């Protein structure tokens, strides 16, 4: 049994949306099949103690069959979902420039919780002809849990991190993926070894904006925020500040940095008014700059 996930950027409605379905794969194996004009061998990666659901994500050059439980996508939590025709055209043109330089390398998005990695990642995967994966969802499926919060409660954060590293290790051998990683994936050096098989991109969002976004949608799915008391914004801001002190230097290890504050200043907007498409465009710009710099240094 197989379900298909499709993503669309609609210029008529000026919104972008995604619809996903999933169904269980009882075999306990992560099965990947690919086509890049020619049929390649079926790869089977066994994630220990895993019970995956399969979702088929098709792009122009690749077909990925992988178990993944996903929810209906939304715009960046409290940000705008408006997409202008000019933004959509710019996104398409920039993607066409970047694709040859990427040479099928994966893109790993890193950043704090609520920074929009999933939303921006789905836009990037669509416009690049890549497939999208969320590493948190893969961990949930690997251990048979419904959420990261449940894993923290039933097991421990360390248990979650161990499984997160296993997932990233398996993904590191793959191509043509955009992967949204968990906010804490950067704290283990071994994860950087896996992610650096591709291109790592840090979505750098001001903490005030992150706290507003998270407070707007609630903290139930954010287990690391439950340790603070107070109103949702204050609780989120205090904990995010502490987490950033622990992780800030690690995020800076990424190949490319996308500063939402910088984008907002250029456009004359508040950070929370930025569209996911505008952030995706900047991500492509920074990826291209990174790849060009590497090419120059290699000469």
Q: pLDDT confidence of 5, banded at 50, 70, 90?
A: very low
The residue with greater pLDDT, 296 or 250, is 250
Q: What is the pLDDT of residue 26?
A: 36
Residue 76, pLDDT > 60, answer no
Q: What is the dihedral of CA 112, 193, 119, 106, to 10 degrees?
A: 160
Q: What is the pLDDT of residue 225?
A: 53
> Measured between alpha carbons, how far is 188 from 107 in angstroms, rounded to an integer?
18
Is this structure's pTM higher than 0.85? no
> Measured between alpha carbons, how far is 194 from 176 in angstroms, rounded to an integer?
15
187-202 b/e (C-beta count within 10 Å ≥ 16 → b): ebeebbebbebbbbbb
How many Å from the N-terminal Cα to the C-terminal Cα in the chain? 49
The residue among 237, 115, 260 whose CA lies nearest residue 184 is 115
Q: What is the pLDDT of residue 78?
A: 36
How large is the average pLDDT for residues 234-257? 94
Q: At what angle do helices 117-128 and 85-102 cross, to 10 degrees?
A: 70
Q: What is the pLDDT of residue 3?
A: 36
Give 236's contacts (C-beta < 8 A, 6+ positions apart).
210, 211, 214, 215, 219, 222, 225, 228
Q: What is the pLDDT of residue 222?
A: 52
Residue 17, pLDDT > 70, answer no
Instruction: For the chain, give the mean pLDDT.
Output: 76
**Residue 153, Cβ neighbours under 10 Å: how many?**
12
The residue among 214, 198, 197, 218 whose CA lies nearest residue 206 is 214
**How confident is the model over 22-73, as pLDDT tens digits?**
333 333 333 333 333 323 332 333 343 333 333 333 333 333 333 333 333 3
**How confident is the model over 208-241, as pLDDT tens digits?**
999 998 888 765 545 555 555 668 888 889 989 9
What are the residue boundaries of the structural domains of the chain, listed by start?
75-298
How large is the average pLDDT for residues 111-135? 97
Give 290's contacts (C-beta < 8 A, 6+ positions apart).
199, 255, 256
CATH code: domain 75-298 is 3.40.50.300
> Measured between alpha carbons, how far is 198 from 218 in angstroms, rounded to an integer?
33
Centroid of chain to Cα 1:
26
């Amino acid at each position: 049994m197989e379900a298909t996930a499709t993503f669309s950027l609609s210029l008529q409605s000026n919104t972008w949306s995604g619809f996903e379905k999933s169904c269980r794969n009882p075999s306990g194996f992560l099965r990947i099949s690919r086509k890049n004009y020619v049929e390649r061998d079926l790869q089977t990666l066994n994630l220990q103690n895993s019970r995956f659901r399969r979702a088929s994500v098709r792009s122009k050059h690749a077909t990925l069959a992988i178990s993944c439980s996903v929810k209906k996508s939304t715009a960046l939590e409290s940000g705008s979902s408006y997409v202008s025709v000019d933004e959509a055209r710019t996104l398409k043109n920039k993607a066409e420039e970047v694709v040859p330089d990427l040479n099928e390398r994966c893109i790993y998005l890193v950043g704090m919780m609520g920074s929009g990695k999933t939303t921006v990642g789905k836009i990037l995967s669509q416009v690049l002809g890549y497939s999208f994966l969320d590493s948190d969802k893969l961990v949930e499926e690997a251990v048979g849990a419904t959420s990261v919060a449940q894993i923290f409660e039933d097991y421990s954060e360390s248990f979650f991190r161990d499984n997160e590293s296993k997932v990233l290790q398996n993904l590191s051998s793959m191509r043509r993926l955009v992967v949204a990683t968990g906010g804490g994936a950067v704290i283990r050096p071994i994860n950087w070894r896996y992610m650096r098989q591709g291109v790592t991109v840090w979505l750098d969002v001001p903490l005030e904006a992150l706290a507003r976004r998270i407070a707007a949608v609630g903290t139930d799915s954010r287990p690391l925020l439950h340790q603070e008391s107070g109103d949702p914004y204050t609780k989120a801001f205090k904990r995010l500040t502490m987490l950033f002190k622990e992780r800030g230097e690690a995020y800076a290890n990424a190949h490319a940095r996308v500063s939402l504050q910088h984008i907002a200043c250029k456009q004359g907007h508040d950070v929370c008014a930025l569209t996911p498409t505008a952030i995706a465009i900047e991500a492509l710009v920074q990826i291209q700059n990174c790849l060009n710099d590497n090419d120059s240094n290699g000469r």
